[in-house]
Amino acid sequence: MIALIQRVSEANVIVNGDDIAAIGLGMLVLVGVERDDRPAEADKLAERLVAYRVFADAAGKMNLSVRDVGGSLLLVPQFTLVADTSAGLRPSFSSAAPPALGAALFDRLVTAVAATGVLHARGRFGADMQVSLTNDGPVTFWLRVSPPQAVT
């Protein structure tokens, strides 16, 4: 699974003109699910998201997590994150999970985040969404949680 995280002062998602999700201080998390991802990757990504230190402490260093600052996560599915852009002029999505698997693992991620007690909101899988944010910093990181490699 891939997550593009952005530290935000606010973010929201609109679908069909309706504001379906919004947060204040926290992280906007765009989530891409890859073909080989399994539930373990969703669980591990949830753990990393709530503990990832992107907020400043009293000394101005990034030492605090979204949990530490009482912030929220806005989780938004975005399959284009898994695109292969290494050749040509059109991205390839062959490494993206099929829609049913992608939806199931995105739901698993949301459930795993909910289990941590961190406040969260979510976008809608498969919907045409308009996502707005105020990136604080700007601070943006790309996280990848990969399936374990087979031992040969």
Active-site residue flag, 85 = no
Catalytic residue at 80? yes
Q: Which of 16, 5, 3 is nearest to 126 (CA)?
A: 16
Report residue 76 CA to chain centroid gap. Answer: 6
The catalytic residue among 6, 55, 79, 125 is 79
78 tagged catalytic: yes
Spatial CB neighbours of 8, under 8 Å, sequence gap ≥ 6: 23, 25, 26, 27, 28, 74, 133, 134, 135, 136
Triad 54, 60, 66: Cα angle to 5°: 30
In 3-state terms, what secondary structure has residue 50? helix
Q: Which amino acid, 97?
A: A
HSE, side-chain direction, 13 A CA sphere, residue 52: 25
Single out the catalytic residue among 6, 78, 106, 125.
78
Which of 80, 111, 130, 134 is an active site residue?
80
Which residues are marked as active site?
Answer: 78-80
